[in-house]
Amino acid sequence: MDNTPAPSSGQVTVSDGIQGAQDLATAAPQPDPQTADSTAQQAGPEPVKRPKQKKKIITLAVGDRRDGTVTRVTDRQGAWVDIGTGKEGFLHKSQFLPYLRYNKEKLEAFQPSRHLKRGDRIHVWIHKLNRETNKIDLTLIRPDYKSIKNLKVGEKRHAVVKAVIDAAAFCDIGSDKDGFLPVSRLSQERVQDIHAVVKVGDEFDVWVTEISMPKEKGSKWQIAVSKLSPDVKLISDLRRGARINGTVKGFNDRGALLDVGVGVDAFMSMDEIDHHHVVNADDELEVGQEVEVMILMVSSRRRRLDVSRRRLLDAPDDEEIEDPFGTNDAPPMNAMELAFMKAQQGQGSRKGRKGRKRKDQLSDTEQLDIITRTLQSGD
């Protein structure tokens, strides 16, 4: 006799659940084999997953210069810079300034956050490369860095403008100190507005013109540079009485204009061309002719330069000088004639300021007195 109790209405047994699942599976629509094949062909083969590979840095080399953007700065380590290779470079704090590489105390006290901040655009150089780990070490110290003590006057350096003021520009020349570039050393021509000629970030070559050592306690090293090469002269370099070579450029009604290589035309008046009287300058000189001249007057403020060729030419002999008075063939003068000539020479002198009585200008009575005393002494 089966003692299993009959299920009450509304109660579901395990056998009922199994039977229902079988009925649903039987009733479910079966996929069409042709449709399944076409769908598989459209989808294509399942892609094969490959392990990710690190980007190579084969395009970089130690010493390369890169422009980058600072992404992170910490005082403990340094900064990270995006240099456009897909891999950030690391700028250790010891690579900010040259002396930090050798002074441990200053290195520990150095704070990179006072010099850089996130988003700054900077120039960096590749310091070290590890192609196995793709690690890039950067530096702010130029590969051509040279200590100020090893710099020499006349040395050529590549400059990057860091700041511009009204009178000068300050340039990074790869040394301990920035180079001081005065406005007068930018061009042979006068620069009216330095900001229109030089801007921050400009790059050009400069030459070291002066290195000033600290003479007193508290003073600092200074480096003066010039954009003009040493063989280029300025009007401020010229001195009165010096001899220079020039090339005739042209003429005017007062004399000749010469190019002496300082960016300012030198002027030579008619009287300074030759010893004899010159009526037309182009009768004595030709355009393109090279002549040696002496500097008579130089003014860098007024941009004026006067020169002379006559003073470098040999003066004619006395016999060749025209004597309109015939004194060369005249017999020697007596005492009265000598006294009269001196009086005439004194009267002809015109020195002193206009409107005042000349000290060497003699009156008639003074001339007569000189003649009388001369005759008395002759007797």
Specify the pLDDT at position 49: 54
* Lookup: tokens for 21: 């699942």
DSSP state of 315: P
What is the distance, to the nearest Å, from the Cα of residue 238 to the centroid of all Cα atoms in its chain? 22
Indicate if the pLDDT at residue 1 is higher than 50: no
Distance (Å, whole) CA 171 – CA 145: 14
Percent of the chain with pLDDT over 70: 67
Specify the pLDDT at position 119: 94
Stretch 35-51: mean pLDDT: 53
Averaged pLDDT of the chain: 78
Reported confidence tier of residue 182, pLDDT bands at 50, 70, 90: very high
Indicate if the pLDDT at residue 69 is higher than 50: yes
Reported confidence tier of residue 131, pLDDT bands at 50, 70, 90: confident
Position of tokens 């005082």?
75
Q: Is 235 within 8 Å of 298 (Cβ atoms)?
A: yes
Give per-residue pLDDT as tens, 233-286: 888 788 888 899 999 999 998 999 999 888 888 999 999 999 888 888 888 899
In this structure, is the dihedral angle defined by the CA atoms of residues 121, 158, 130 and 86, taken in order, positive or negative? positive
Reported confidence tier of residue 91, pLDDT bands at 50, 70, 90: very high
What is the number of helices (H) and of strands (E) in the chain?
A: 5, 15
Can you list the domains of the chain with their CATH numbers?
Answer: 65-139 (2.40.50.140), 148-226 (2.40.50.140), 235-312 (2.40.50.140), 335-378 (no CATH)
Stretch 75-103: mean pLDDT: 91
Stretch 332-352: mean pLDDT: 61
Of residues 75 and 60, more confidently modeled: 75
Specify the pLDDT at position 86: 84
Which stretch of 30-39, 61-70, 333-342 has the lowest confidence by average pLDDT?
A: 30-39
Stretch 164-169: mean pLDDT: 92
Reported confidence tier of residue 369, pLDDT bands at 50, 70, 90: low
| Residue 279 one-letter amino acid | V
Stretch 71-85: mean pLDDT: 93
Of residues 337 and 82, more confidently modeled: 82
* Lookup: tokens for 301: 């403020």
Q: Across-strand partners of 70? A: 81
Indicate if the pLDDT at residue 52 is higher than 80: no
Position of tokens 């002719």?
289
Could you give the C-alpha distances from 236 to 208, 275, 277, 293, 304, in angstroms and in order? 17, 29, 32, 17, 11
Of residues 293 and 372, more confidently modeled: 293
How far the first Cα of the chain sits from its last, in Å, is: 195
Distance (Å, whole) CA 73 – CA 66: 18
Stretch 147-170: mean pLDDT: 92
Reported confidence tier of residue 364, pLDDT bands at 50, 70, 90: low
Distance (Å, whole) CA 234 – CA 187: 9
Of residues 184 and 180, more confidently modeled: 180
Indicate if the pLDDT at residue 321 is higher than 50: no
Percent of the chain with pLDDT over 90: 39
Give per-residue pLDDT as tens, 2-35: 454 554 444 445 455 545 545 545 555 555 555 5
Specify the pLDDT at position 188: 83
